[in-house]
Amino acid sequence: MAKIIVTSAWPYVNNVPHLGTLIGSLLSADFFARAMKLSGHDVIYVTGSDEHGTPIELEARKRGIEPRVLTDQIHEYDLKLFNEFNIEFSLYSRTESEVHKEFVKEMLMKIYNNGYIFEQTDILPYCPSDKMFLPDRYVEGTCPYCGYEHARGDQCDNCGRLLHPTELINPHCVLCGATPIFKETKHWFIDLRRLQGRLEEWLVNHKHMPDNVKKYSLSWLETGLKPRAVTRDIKWGIPAPFPGAKDKTIYVWFDALLGYVSATKEYLAMKTGNPDEWKKWWFDQETRTYFFIGKDNIPFHSIIFPAMLMASGDPYVLPYFISATEYLTFKGEQFSKSRGVGVWVDEALEIAPADYWRWVLARVRPEQRDMNFSWSEFYRIVNSELNDTIGNLVHRVLTLIYRKLGGKMPCKPKIDNEDEEMLETVREKAWSVVQKYEEVKIRAATEGILSIARIGNQYLNSTEPWKHVKSNKAKATSVLWIEANILHLIALTSWPIIPNASTRLWRMLGQKHEISEAQWSYIDRTPDKCVEIPQPEPLFNKLPEDFLERADQILDEAREKARLKRPPALKEYRVVG
RNA sequence: AGCGGGGUAGGGUAGCCUGGUAGCCCGCGGGGCUCAUAACCCCGAGGUCGGUGGUUCAAAUCCACCCCCCGCUACCA
């Protein structure tokens, strides 16, 4: 039994997450964490709200409220939605938690005391009317190279050149339009250069890191790491603990990444009463840590996070596996809040139950390339896969048992060679699904589940037990017993993806214990014999035939319903930058 | 521009690392079954694997160059 820590990128609480965020981080982590629980491993899944940083401070300022008021509301709302989505966290924390804030300060002081932090004075744009330093992206002006008028302070979107805000012609503040002045300000930098060698050695020799993460990270290292500022000139955040850094806060990334550790600490302290329990996990080199993120996040997890762990001088276990998905697009476009492109988590739940979404998103998980979400795919996956292939198999088998075998699972089924072979085949399939989960190949796992259902349908068609119930009851009974075993395997293997449906199926099979207590080893067991089963009910319902014609309208209605339930802070939220 | 990922039948995708007659799902055509949510099963048509050139007995797979899509490029998070 291994200790496994599963985490996912912390949702930034300026918004309700959309489907892309959900499948890239939270949901994928949940699939995996659940699968590992069935393996009998000791699994912790922690994540939480990322609530500091400039966008949130600005939004609060615009409304004349404290940032914390804003993040309280959104944190609570997000958490409610994730629960409705059946994401089974050990703890969903937040970066405003006391444990987290203390942990970040301690950690950064360790890094400081180990000599990895140095001070440097920069000249940065400052908006005199907003009275704040402007992050590069909050300054716009004319590109000195191509003349594009909306070049940002860090880069020109038109010609792609990297810029420094001082280079912009006619620079202005994105918030108020005023001309920024350039002012001196001191910041604290982590010297990543000094960790370059250790990071390189770690990554090059890493046995489990997926290729996309490894290649990307190594190319960063090849370019050479640069020092990176860990402080910011804003009020909303964790106060920088360094001597002389009174008015500075910690840059959100250095804050949020450490949440992986602090949330583990918080959870285990609550669970065991021992505030140091977390060290048994994070300081144990045998612990496996899994990170679920989108492709835009790779270097933060593969370089900056491990760099911090190394720089602390404590014996942290470094990331074991980073699963970085590509992007989910909506009708071929990127999700966009401002243009209303996409589906948000609360809207999704107004359209279909959580299990449907969980299954659909698992099926279109962008594991190798960007994946498109379209209503026609949604419709196909729900109706053809969930309903026809899986749901209908469940229903036809259970109905046969209910009507032809007196509503009772066989007591002493006599299994012939053909049955025996079938059982072996599907058990092998089920084990291969487990293997896919372990490799974090979620789509392949769902593919395997479907193929088990298809095999079940084929076997039923070829053996025709409905014909044999009178002429050869023994054979009909044994075939249905094998089919019951197949449903048992479907319930087990699909539990990480569609826990509700799986649990219902488990009960319809009359099982005595709960599926959440099951283990993968049950694959080689039979379901309980001789037990009564309840009258079967459809596991899923189809989307109506006119769904595709009405999809846009359905989304509009769902959007309106969801909007009414949103907390005040989200009703008309707009993010700048 | 640099770096990383991707481009496979009408649609959606697997295979690529570790070369050896291109697999699966939907859709389409034909047939079967009637237990089941008009569901299920079988058979068939449909692909010169983005382009060009190279390595090899053999290339979707390896190499080079080119075209197109996505991301990142260190102060958005």
The pair of structure tokens assigned to A451 is 């193929």
Closest nucleotide to A224 by C1' from CA? B74
What is the mean pLDDT of the segment spanning A267-273? 97
Q: What is the CATH number of the domain that holds A130?
A: 2.170.220.10
CA distance A380 to A385: 7
Q: What is the CATH number of the domain that holds A448?
A: 1.10.730.10
Q: Nearest to residue A347, comparing CAs of A22, A61, A69, A12?
A: A22
Q: Which residues contact A207 (CB under 8 A, 6 or more apart)?
A: none
* A198 and A261 together in one domain: no
Nearest-Å Rg of the Cα atoms of chain A is 27
Closest nucleotide to A370 by C1' from CA? B70
Burial A321-357 (b: 16+ CB within 10 A, else e): bbbbbbbbbbeeeebeeeeeebbbbbbbbbbbbbbbb
* A97 and A147 together in one domain: no
* A508 and A412 together in one domain: yes
Q: Is residue A77 part of a domain?
A: yes
Q: Is residue A102 part of a domain?
A: yes
* A260 and A315 together in one domain: yes
* A380 and A479 together in one domain: yes
* A485 and A393 together in one domain: yes
Q: Which residues contact A463 (CB under 8 A, 6 or more apart)?
A: A418, A475, A479
pLDDT digits (tens, 9 = 90+) for A422-454: 999 999 999 999 999 999 999 999 999 999 999
Closest nucleotide to A253 by C1' from CA? B77
The pair of structure tokens assigned to A420 is 């025996």
Q: How far is the CA of A410 from the C1' of B18 (A)?
A: 47
Report the protein residue whose CA lies nearest the C1' of nucleotide B4.
A216
Report the protein residue whose CA lies nearest the C1' of nucleotide B13.
A364
* A341 and A459 together in one domain: no
Residue A25 near residue A442, CB atoms below 8 Å: no
Q: Is residue A296 part of a domain?
A: yes
Closest nucleotide to A50 by C1' from CA? B77
Report the protein residue whose CA lies nearest the C1' of nucleotide B73.
A162
* A119 and A96 together in one domain: no
For chain B, which bases have at least one atom within 7 A of a protein Cβ?
Answer: 1-7, 11-17, 24-27, 32-37, 39-42, 69-77
Place of tokens 């969980």: A358
- Overall pTM surpassing 0.90 (yes/no): yes
CA distance A160 to A166: 17
Report the protein residue whose CA lies nearest the C1' of nucleotide B38.
A388
* A509 and A397 together in one domain: yes
Is the pLDDT assigned to residue A325 strictly greater than 50? yes
List the A228-229 sheet strands across, edge first: A132-133, A117-127, A181-190, A228-229
Q: Nearest to residue A205, comparing CAs of A195, A194, A218?
A: A218
Report the protein residue whose CA lies nearest the C1' of nucleotide B14.
A444
Closest nucleotide to A365 by C1' from CA? B13
pLDDT the model gives residue A458: 96
CA distance A424 to A455: 12
Confidence of residue A265 (pLDDT cuts 50, 70, 90): very high
Q: How far is the CA of A444 from the C1' of B23 (A)?
A: 14
Closest nucleotide to A458 by C1' from CA? B41
Number of other CB atoms surrounding residue A319 within 10 Å:
24
Q: Is residue A431 part of a domain?
A: yes
Q: What is the CATH number of the domain that holds A271?
A: 3.40.50.620
Confidence of residue A258 (pLDDT cuts 50, 70, 90): very high
Q: How far is the CA of A448 from the C1' of B42 (A)?
A: 21
Closest nucleotide to A388 by C1' from CA? B39
Q: CB-side exposure of A536: number of CA atoms within 13 Å?
A: 24
Confidence of residue A577 (pLDDT cuts 50, 70, 90): very low
Asked which of A217, A232, A247 is the last residue of a domain, the reply is A232
pLDDT the model gives residue A574: 43
Q: How far is the CA of A216 from the C1' of B54 (A)?
A: 28
- Our measurement of the distance from residue A556's CA atom to the centroid of its chain's CA atoms, rounded to an integer in Å, reads 26
Q: How far is the CA of A547 from the C1' of B24 (A)?
A: 26
pLDDT the model gives residue A568: 86
CA distance A166 to A187: 18
Report the protein residue whose CA lies nearest the C1' of nucleotide B71.
A296
Q: How far is the CA of A132 from the C1' of B72 (A)?
A: 28
Closest nucleotide to A383 by C1' from CA? B37
Closest nucleotide to A393 by C1' from CA? B36
Q: How far is the CA of A332 from the C1' of B69 (A)?
A: 10
Closest nucleotide to A12 by C1' from CA? B77
pLDDT digits (tens, 9 = 90+) for A209-256: 888 888 888 888 888 888 999 999 999 999 999 999 989 999 999 999
**pLDDT top residue among A351 and A170:** A351
Number of other CB atoms surrounding residue A515 within 10 Å:
20
Q: Is residue A573 part of a domain?
A: no
Q: How far is the CA of A368 from the C1' of B56 (A)?
A: 29
Give me chain A's average pLDDT, please: 92
Residue type, A347: E
Closest nucleotide to A51 by C1' from CA? B77
Q: How far is the CA of A501 from the C1' of B60 (A)?
A: 39
* A515 and A380 together in one domain: yes
pLDDT digits (tens, 9 = 90+) for A544-572: 999 999 999 999 999 999 999 999 887 76
Closest nucleotide to A219 by C1' from CA? B3
Q: How far is the CA of A298 from the C1' of B8 (A)?
A: 28
Q: Is residue A543 part of a domain?
A: no
Q: How far is the CA of A432 from the C1' of B45 (A)?
A: 33
CA distances from A454 to A180, A379, A485, A487, A540 (A): 65, 19, 14, 11, 17
Is the pLDDT assigned to residue A576 strictly greater than 50? no
The DSSP secondary-structure symbol of A45 reads E
Is the pLDDT assigned to residue A114 strictly greater than 60? yes
Domain boundaries, position A37: 3-108+255-351
Q: How far is the CA of A324 from the C1' of B15 (A)?
A: 21
Helix (H, G, I), strand (E, B) or coil at A39: coil
pLDDT the model gives residue A575: 38
Is the pLDDT assigned to residue A394 strictly greater than 90? yes
Residue A188 near residue A118, CB atoms below 8 Å: yes
| Number of domains composing chain A | 3
Q: How far is the CA of A424 from the C1' of B32 (A)?
A: 27
Q: How far is the CA of A451 from the C1' of B58 (A)?
A: 33
Asked which of A317, A351, A385 is the last residue of a domain, the reply is A351
pLDDT the model gives residue A208: 86
What is the mean pLDDT of the segment spanning A314-318? 97
Point out which residues pair with A408 in neighbouring strands.
Answer: A532
What is the mean pLDDT of the segment spanning A412-421? 92
* A381 and A516 together in one domain: yes
The pair of structure tokens assigned to A70 is 């804003």
Q: Is residue A370 part of a domain?
A: no
Q: How far is the CA of A329 from the C1' of B10 (A)?
A: 22
Q: Is residue A138 part of a domain?
A: yes
Is the pLDDT assigned to residue A206 strictly greater than 80? yes
Point out which residues pair with A323 in neighbouring strands.
Answer: A292
Closest nucleotide to A56 by C1' from CA? B77
Residue A460 near residue A396, CB atoms below 8 Å: yes
pLDDT the model gives residue A572: 61
* % of chain A exceeding 70 in pLDDT: 98
Q: How far is the CA of A178 from the C1' of B73 (A)?
A: 28
* A64 and A137 together in one domain: no
CA distance A455 to A429: 10
Burial of A11 (C-beta count, 10 Å sphere; 0-12/13-18/19+): buried
Q: How far is the CA of A212 from the C1' of B66 (A)?
A: 24
